């Protein structure tokens, strides 16, 4: 994910997320050194990671599957972090590498820092361009417009950006990152602070969404993408594994209906692999779960139950249309999907 797992070596009692090491941008005019170019870049993700899940969703919604190829890592890491053991012979078929760390090394010989996803790799040289998870999706929405599918939604509409940014900052600070601050806290005080901030934000969001379908405006924006990737993992891992247990998502009628609405929207639920999510958190975080036992629950079929959020109005894609079917080679395996009883 975006920081070394468990934040080892920290001398504080609070979890501190590592900053993205590589922050080059890929822009329409190439003004920062890398131009938008179909087929030149490969998006490397773990389906377990909420930060990488953002880029998967945005890539789907905008129809960029043919423009940016996809590499999916094993949900389990070893001492060299993210690895391509899901691919034949344990190597990514495009980049030819066994570990994402090799693309970091290609960018900066001798690099010994954290290796995180999502990462965008330049196929022509095999080096990582960016692991700036906050910027990647915004640039996909605003710089890659020439390669968007017909009917792609505007996920970062200019008139709403100030409000979107304000909402996203609250969501990031207290919920997206807050679950990690609670889960990796090294003192009771640090844990309780993160827990209280998390659920204060939770309550603000629940109230905000009581009478509106989406966080900002009448259609899906980047803010909804960022909130969804935490909510979809909440009951499966954060509630128990990270001790964020004031209540489950499924016990909040507003946020549970909101999350199901998004999950059932093309481009959201079809990117989620619950098997990868549960195995990563419960088997990699051995300081939290030394037995590495993976829970069987929760019941995933509940994600497909009616949500009735359409009654609030709004149009998921604004003036646009839903994305097409998931490419066959990018489908989530049956073990990781929510299916109806």
Residues taking part in catalysis: 49, 180
Residue 82 annotated as part of some ligand binding site: yes
Q: Which two tokens stand for residue 112?
A: 């010994």
Per DSSP, the three-state class of 95 is coil
Q: What is the 3-state secondary structure (H, E, C) of 269-284?
A: HHHCCHHHHHHHHHHH
State both tokens at 145: 């417009």
Contacts of 247 (CB under 8 A, 6+ apart): none
Question: Of 209, 260, 213, which is closest to residue 234 (Cα–Cα)?
Answer: 260
Cis preceding linkage at 298, omega within 30: yes
Please provide the DSSP assignment of 36-94 as one string. --TTSEEEEE-TT-HHHHHHHHHHHHHT-TTTSEEEE--SS-BTTBSB-TTSGGGS-TT
* Residue 119 contacts residue 131 (beta carbons within 8 Å): yes
CA angle 300–301–304, rounded 5-degree value: 115
Give the residue numbers of the binding site for glutathione: 82
Give the residue numbers of the binding site: 82
């Amino acid at each position: 994910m975006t920081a070394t797992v468990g934040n080892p070596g920290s001398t504080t009692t609070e979890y501190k997320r590592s900053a993205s090491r590589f922050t080059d941008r890929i822009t329409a005019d190439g003004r920062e050194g890398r131009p938008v170019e179909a087929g030149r870049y490969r998006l490397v993700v773990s389906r377990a990671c909420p930060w990488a899940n953002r880029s998967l969703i945005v890539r789907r919604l905008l129809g960029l599957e043919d423009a940016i190829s996809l590499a999916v890592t094993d949900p389990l890491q070893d001492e060299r972090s993210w690895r391509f053991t899901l691919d034949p012979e344990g190597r990514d078929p495009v980049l030819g590498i066994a570990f994402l760390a090799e693309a970091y090394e290609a960018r900066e010989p001798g690099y010994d820092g954290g290796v995180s996803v999502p990462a965008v790799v330049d196929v022509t040289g095999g080096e990582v361009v960016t692991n700036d998870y906050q910027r990647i999706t915004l640039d996909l929405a605003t710089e890659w417009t020439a390669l968007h599918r017909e009917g792609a939604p505007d996920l970062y509409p200019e008139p709403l950006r100030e409000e979107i940014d304000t909402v996203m900052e609250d969501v990031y600070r207290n919920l997206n990152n807050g679950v990690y601050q609670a889960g990796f806290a090294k003192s009771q005080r640090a844990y309780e602070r993160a827990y209280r901030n998390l659920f204060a934000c939770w309550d603000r969001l629940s109230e905000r969404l009581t009478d509106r379908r989406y966080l900002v405006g009448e259609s899906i924006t980047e803010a909804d993408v960022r909130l969804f990737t935490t909510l979809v993992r909440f009951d499966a891992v954060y509630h128990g594994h990270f001790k964020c247990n004031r209540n489950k998502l499924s016990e909040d009628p507003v946020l549970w209906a909101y999350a199901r609405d998004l999950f059932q929207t093309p481009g959201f639920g079809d990117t989620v692999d619950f098997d990868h999510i549960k195995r990563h958190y419960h088997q990699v975080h051995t300081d939290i779960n030394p037995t590495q036992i993976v829970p069987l629950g929760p019941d995933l079929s509940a994600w497909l139950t009616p949500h009735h959020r359409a009654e609030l109005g709004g149009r998921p894609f604004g003036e646009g249309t839903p994305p097409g079917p998931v490419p066959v080679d990018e489908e989530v395996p049956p073990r990781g999907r929510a299916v109806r009883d």
